[in-house]
Structure formats: structure tokens, C-alpha cells
């Protein structure tokens, strides 16, 4: 089981790195967010020092990155289904759990690499956080990546075709992003929007990362963030696993 999972994991990582689109877009895009957005923050002149701006903004970029890079994994998976790859692997004596786990762990590993890159670039721009906070941030990213990737796979397995998959993803993304307070903290928003934001698990992820960015590791936001994401991961992972078992008994 371990052997099989690590074979799939290694294969999927190689596949990711071999894909120039992933390397360019996946690695460049988050850096561009920082490079092209942070100067705007300075111009906005919020009155706060630059490092404070970064501590609000970097967590937003990280969360957005988690969504952008894992929400579409289902799309790639649909291509594999179309090519018969999913079936072909299912006719090997490999456990279903290993097939699924190897793949999803590779997605998460990709996200962790992207996150580390963002944190490093942010560091060069003046973002300073305690290493233990960074580790906790990465732990949150792992949970976020697991849940969003599971959601994406579950949707792909249930919809079975790219057109409806893309429509649903597009439909989901905008409100999820806007109601998470990623770019502009929801504390600026009217009451009804804040209420809606509280129902959005992503909002709690952003708030937890923000608390960690200012090294407030004991904050309620951090605890809430971990609990919400752990719950979300359990739910989406179960849904994805069930959908997968139905597709390949």
C-alpha cells in the first residue's frame, strides 16, 4: 500500500513537472500576484507600514493560490478518464486507496511547493514571520489543498464531462473568492456580507493564515481555521472516495 502510493505519487509529481504549463503558470502566477499587486498597496497608502500590508495580503495570495491550483485538478482527471487511463489503472491489482491517495498527495505537494515560493518571495519583499508560524500556515495549506482537490475530483467523477465541470467551477469560484476576504478583508464589508463570509470555509482559512502571519498562534481564528478545514477535508474526501469507488469498483 505504501509502495503503491509512493509509485503513483512519484509518477504524478513527474507528470506535473513535465508539464510546462504547470511550471510556468503554476509557479509564475503566484509570484506575479506579489510583484504586481504589492506596489499597488503601497500607492493606496493605507497608512500602515509596508510589512503590515504584506501580512494582510500574503495570506490572501496563499489562499487564492490554493483554490486556483487545486480546484482544476478534476479537469485534468477528466482528461485521464477520457483517455482510459483511470480504467487502465483500475485493472491493476493496486488498491483503490493507493491510486487515489498517490494522486491527491501529489496535488498537495505541488501546492506546498507553490506556497513556499510565495513565502520566499514575500520574505524578499519584507514579509517576516516566525518559522513555526510558517509551518502552521503550510499545514493549513495542506488541509485546504486536500479539501479543494477532493471537491474537484468528486465533481469531475459525478459530472463526467468537461463542459458542465467548468461551468460549475466558474460558478463556485467567484462568490467563494469574494466572500473569503482574500484581497480586501471582510471587516470592511457590510454586515450581511460578513455573515455570508462566516459561512464560507475559505474565509476562516484566510483569517487563520492572517493570524499566523502576525505570529498570533494562539488566536481563536487559528483554532477555528484548523477545525473548519479539518471538517471540510473529512467531508470532501469522503465524497470523493465514494464517487471514485462507484466509478471503479
Partner 1 sequence: MEIEAEGIRKTYLSKAGPVEALAGVDLVVPSGKIFGFLGPNGAGKTTLTRILTTLSRPDAGRARIAGFDVATQAQEVRRRIGYVSQAGGVDSGMSGRANLVLQARLQGMSKSDTVARVGELSDRFGLGELLDRAVKTLSGGQNRRLALAMGLVHRPSVMFLDEPTLGLDPRARVDLWQEISALRADGSTVFLTTHYLEEADALCDELAIIDNGTIVSQGSPAALKREVGSDDVISVTVGAGHARADGARTEIEALAGANRVWWEGDVLRVSIADGGEALPHLLRLLDAAGIEVRSVTLSAPGLDDVFLQKTGRSFSAEGASEQKPKGPDKADEKTDAGQLQGA
Which is closer to partner 1, CB of 42 or CB of 161?
A: 161
Grid cell listed for 103: 494522486
Q: Give, as ranges, the residues between 119 and 138 that touch partner 1 (CB under 8 A).
A: none
Contact residue for partner 1 among 18, 131, 188, 199 (CB under 8 A)? 18
- Rounded to the nearest 10 degrees, the angle between the axes of helix 96-124 and helix 131-159 is 140
Contact residue for partner 1 among 42, 87, 217, 238 (CB under 8 A)? 87
Least Å distance, CB 89 to partner 1, is 7
Distance CA 16, CA 110 (A): 8
Contact residue for partner 1 among 28, 37, 88, 126 (CB under 8 A)? 88
Grid cell listed for 235: 467531508
Least Å distance, CB 100 to partner 1, is 14
Least Å distance, CB 144 to partner 1, is 25
Q: Which helix (H) or strand (E) holds 180?
A: none
Distance CA 1, CA 17 (A): 24
Burial degree of 109 (CB within 10 A; 0-12, 13-18, 19+): middle
Contact residue for partner 1 among 23, 44, 85, 135 (CB under 8 A)? 85
Distance CA 146, CA 60 (A): 18
Contact residue for partner 1 among 45, 92, 170, 187 (CB under 8 A)? 92
Contact 121, 159 (CB under 8 A): no
Which is closer to partner 1, CB of 82 or CB of 128?
A: 82
The reply on whether position 249 binds partner 1 by CB under 8 A is yes
Which is closer to partner 1, CB of 80 or CB of 194?
A: 80
Distance CA 23, CA 130 (A): 28
The reply on whether position 247 binds partner 1 by CB under 8 A is yes
Of the candidates 20, 134, 12, the one whose C-alpha atom is nearest the C-alpha of residue 73 is 12
The reply on whether position 15 binds partner 1 by CB under 8 A is yes
- Alpha helix (H) ranges present in 179-249? 191-198, 201-213, 220-247
Least Å distance, CB 211 to partner 1, is 39
Distance CA 151, CA 177 (A): 16
The reply on whether position 90 binds partner 1 by CB under 8 A is yes
Grid cell listed for 81: 478518464
Contact residue for partner 1 among 17, 161, 217, 220 (CB under 8 A)? 161
Which is closer to partner 1, CB of 217 or CB of 242?
A: 242
Residues found near partner 1 in the complex (CB under 8 A): 4, 7-8, 11, 14-15, 18-19, 76, 79-85, 87-94, 160-161, 242-243, 245-249
Amino acid at each position: 500500500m505504501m509502495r503503491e502510493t509512493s509509485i503513483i505519487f512519484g509518477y504524478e509529481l513527474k507528470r506535473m513537472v513535465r508539464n510546462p504549463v504547470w511550471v510556468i503558470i503554476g509557479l509564475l502566477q503566484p509570484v506575479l500576484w506579489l510583484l504586481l499587486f504589492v506596489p499597488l498597496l503601497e500607492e493606496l497608502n493605507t497608512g500602515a507600514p509596508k510589512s503590515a500590508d504584506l501580512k494582510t495580503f500574503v495570506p490572501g495570495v496563499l489562499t487564492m493560490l490554493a483554490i486556483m491550483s487545486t480546484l482544476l485538478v478534476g479537469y485534468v482527471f477528466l482528461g485521464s478518464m477520457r483517455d482510459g487511463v483511470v480504467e487502465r489503472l483500475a485493472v491493476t491489482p493496486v488498491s483503490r486507496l493507493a491510486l487515489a491517495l498517490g494522486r491527491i498527495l501529489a496535488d498537495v505537494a505541488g501546492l506546498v511547493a507553490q506556497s513556499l515560493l510565495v513565502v520566499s518571495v514575500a520574505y524578499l519583499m519584507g514579509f517576516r514571520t516566525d518559522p513555526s508560524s510558517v509551518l502552521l500556515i503550510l499545514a493549513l495549506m495542506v488541509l485546504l489543498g486536500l479539501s479543494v482537490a477532493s471537491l474537484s475530483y468528486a465533481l469531475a467523477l459525478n459530472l463526467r464531462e468537461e463542459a458542465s465541470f467548468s461551468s460549475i467551477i466558474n460558478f463556485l469560484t467567484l462568490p467563494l473568492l469574494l466572500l473569503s476576504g482574500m484581497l480586501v478583508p471582510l471587516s470592511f464589508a457590510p454586515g450581511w456580507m460578513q455573515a455570508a463570509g462566516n459561512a464560507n470555509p475559505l474565509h476562516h482559512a484566510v483569517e487563520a493564515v492572517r493570524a499566523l502571519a502576525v505570529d498570533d498562534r494562539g488566536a481563536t481564528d487559528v483554532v477555528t481555521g484548523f477545525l473548519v478545514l479539518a471538517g471540510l477535508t473529512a467531508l470532501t474526501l469522503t465524497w470523493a472516495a465514494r464517487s471514485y469507488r462507484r466509478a471503479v469498483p
